[in-house]
Amino acid sequence: MDYTAVKSKSRLASTQRQQWSVTVVDRSLRTPLLSSAIRQDDTAAPPLRKIISVASIAVGAQFVWALQLSLLTPYVQLLGVPHKWSAIIWLNGPISGMLVQPIVGYYSDRCTSRFGRRRPFIASGAAFYAFAVFLIGYAADIGYKMGDKLEQTPRVRAIAIFALGLCILDVARDTLQGPCRAFLADLAAVDAKRTRAANAFYSFFMAVGNVLGYAADKQWSPTPVNPDEEKTLSDDPSFGEIFGVFKVMERPMWMLLIVTALNWIAWFPFLFLDTDWMGREVYGGSSEGDDRMKKLYNQGVHSGALGPMFNSIVVGFMSLGVDWIGRKVGGAKRLWGIVNFILAIGLVMTVLVTKLAADYRKTAGPYAEPSPGIRAGALSLFAVLGIPLAITFSIPFALASSTISSSSGAGQGKF
């Protein structure tokens, strides 16, 4: 065989491979997501301590969230909102999540601030948090200054101030947590292990914030934008692009979306009404009854705050072991499936505890506190449900990041 011909063919093949590589890169640069990933690959992965510092933002946010979950249902009833209407107030959270998070995510991905894509939204969310907490905490006092009578129920002005504060609080949570999760995905890039670790740390710090909140209750860099692309991006209607995503989502992402939605349908009543359940069903009190019934209800609410604190402790420890447990049971998806059965059994057991408490009051009297066994059983349910909650806080987000990365071949770009 002619050595010169072989060498010529080898040189030709090498040139074709180089041209193919240039073509792939050139095409990818047309997509902001891929181009940012290519640029990001040229830099070293951020250190783990940076991921931990970003994840620790969850402590403050979840501290406020824990106080909201444990106290606000009883609080609105003290302001004069009937119990049957108090659950309507909580609809603001899901509605805010459906509207605010997609918008924040859309503009966060396209933010050109010198502080980065995520930081301005995280800082804005923190400011909204502070303002919302002020309005909620001083709703009764502001209402009184505006003309509410102390003996008046319902206190209309106080309820209005409270509802405004709650709306701002939900917007603040969605403004802060979405970019914070995206920031973690940015830092993890396309590394699945770092993505799982980042979400596990975030879940852990959420648990720390929960513990502090429930304990307090017991005590009373931008992505460069091509000038030609800037006009196109700014003219895109955000909702049109957001809903357009559904048309191109692949089956794994659809399944993840559906299972997560069903998960949260189960979680919301428990998370929002847990202390109210303790005061009303386990202790048999009422915020609308006589003084003895109100006292019994308040005892149940404060005793019930121990439950979410135990729940958060379990979430914290479980979060640190999610990756290890996932490997032992055969993967993150299988682990998620297992804990959903634990969630279902735990929620069914709340019905049993309610019935046992009602039967006990029939013999001990309507004003009797639940027996130590019933109280221990109720608090144990809170602790056990910390296992599936830790998985809900971490694995779906890690799976979503991995699914997006694998389908697009890229991470989420600069942060």
71 and 111 together in one domain: yes
Q: Are 210 and 271 contained in the same domain?
A: no
Q: In this predicted model, what pLDDT tens digit does every residue of 308-361 receive, in sequence order?
A: 888 888 888 887 787 788 888 888 788 888 888 999 999 999 999 999 999 999
DSSP H helices in 42-155: 48-55, 57-78, 83-89, 92-109, 119-137, 139-145
Across the range 120-145, mean pLDDT stands at: 88
Name the most confidently modeled range: 143-147, 271-275, 315-319, 347-351: 347-351
Q: How confident is the model at residue 224 (pLDDT cuts 50, 70, 90)?
A: very low
- Among 202, 232, 262, the domain-final residue is 232
Q: Say how far apart CA 214 and CA 312 lie, in whole Å.
A: 9
Q: What is the pLDDT of residue 252?
A: 76
Whether residues 166 and 277 share a domain: the answer is no
Q: What proportions of the chain, in percent to the nearest 5, are helix, strand and coil?
A: 80, 0, 20
Tallying the residues shown for the chain, one arrives at 415
Within a domain: 6: no
Q: Are 383 and 210 spatial neighbours (Cβ–Cβ below 8 Å)? A: no
Comparing 224-228, 260-264, 399-403, the range with the smallest average pLDDT is: 224-228
**Residue 90 pLDDT > 90:** no
Domain boundary among 232, 257, 277: 232
CA angle 208, 195, 97 (to 5 degrees): 65
C-alpha atoms less than 13 angstroms from C-alpha of 345 in its C-beta half-sphere: 9
The answer to the question of residue 21 being in a domain is: no
CB 312 within 8 Å of CB 67: no
Three-class SS of residue 37?
helix
Domain boundary among 179, 199, 232: 232
My answer on whether 281 and 364 are in the same domain is: yes
Domain count for the chain: 2
For residues 270 and 228, state if they share a domain.
no
Q: In this prediction, what percent of the chain has a pLDDT beyond 90? A: 7
Bin 176: left if φ > 0, else alpha if -120 < ψ < 50, else beta: alpha
For the CA atoms of the chain, what is the radius of gyration?
Answer: 26
Whether residues 327 and 215 share a domain: the answer is no
189 in the Ramachandran plot: left (φ > 0), alpha (ψ -120 to 50) or beta? left
Question: Which of 290, 267, 291, 286 has the alpha carbon at shortest distance from 74?
Answer: 286
Q: Is the pLDDT of residue 407 over 70?
A: no
Q: Are residues 211 and 270 in the same domain?
A: no
Encoded amino acid at 311, one letter: N
Contact 104, 174 (CB under 8 A): yes
Q: Are residues 228 and 286 in the same domain?
A: no
Same domain for 204 and 141: yes
* Structural domain for 64, as ranges: 45-232
**Are 275 and 202 members of one domain?**
no
With a CB cutoff of 8 Å and minimum separation 6, the contacts of 229 are: 32
Choose the weakest-confidence range: 28-32, 69-73, 103-107, 290-294: 28-32
- pLDDT (average), residues 62-79: 72
| Mean pLDDT on 176-199 | 80
129 and 213 in a single domain? The answer is yes
Is 80 exceeded by the pLDDT of residue 14?
no
Residue type, 362: K
In a shared domain, residues 260 and 295:
yes
pLDDT of residue 153: 73
pLDDT of residue 54: 86
- Whichever domain contains 143, its CATH number is 1.20.1250
Q: Kindly state the average pLDDT of the residues 45-49.
A: 72
* Listed residue (174, 198, 228, 125) closest to 405, CA to CA: 198
Q: How far is CA 82 from CA 75, 296, 407, in A?
A: 11, 18, 49
Exposure letters 29-53 (e unless 16+ CB within 10 A, then b): eeebbbbbbeebeeeeeeeeeebee
- Which residues contact residue 82 at a Cβ distance below 8 angstroms, ignoring those fewer than 6 apart? 288
Q: Give domain status of residue 176, yes or no.
A: yes
Q: Tokens in use for 32?
A: 């902001």
Split at pLDDT 50, 70, 90, the class of 99 is confident
Domain assignment of residue 177, yes or no: yes
Q: Which of the two residues, 126 and 207, has the higher pLDDT score? A: 126
Q: Is 408 domain-assigned?
A: no
104/178 Cα distance (integer angstroms): 8
Structure-token match 């040139």, residue found: 15
Helix (H) or strand (E) holding 346: helix 332-364
Q: Can you give the pLDDT at residue 27? A: 39
- Burial class of residue 362, CB neighbours in 10 A (0-12, 13-18, 19+): exposed
Q: Does 8 reside within a domain?
A: no
- With left for phi above 0 and alpha for psi between -120 and 50, is residue 147 left, alpha or beta? left
Q: Is 60 exceeded by the pLDDT of residue 383?
A: yes
Cα(210)–Cα(59) distance, rounded to whole angstroms?
Answer: 8
What is the spatial distance between Cα 51 and Cα 71, in angstroms, rounded to a whole number?
Answer: 32
Q: Residue 374: its pLDDT value, please?
A: 92
In a domain, 33, yes or no: no
Q: What percent of the chain has pLDDT over 70?
A: 73
Which of these, 259, 400, 272, lies nearest to 339 by C-alpha position?
Answer: 259
**Residue at token pair 């947590």:** 177
Query: For residue 414, is it within any domain?
Result: no
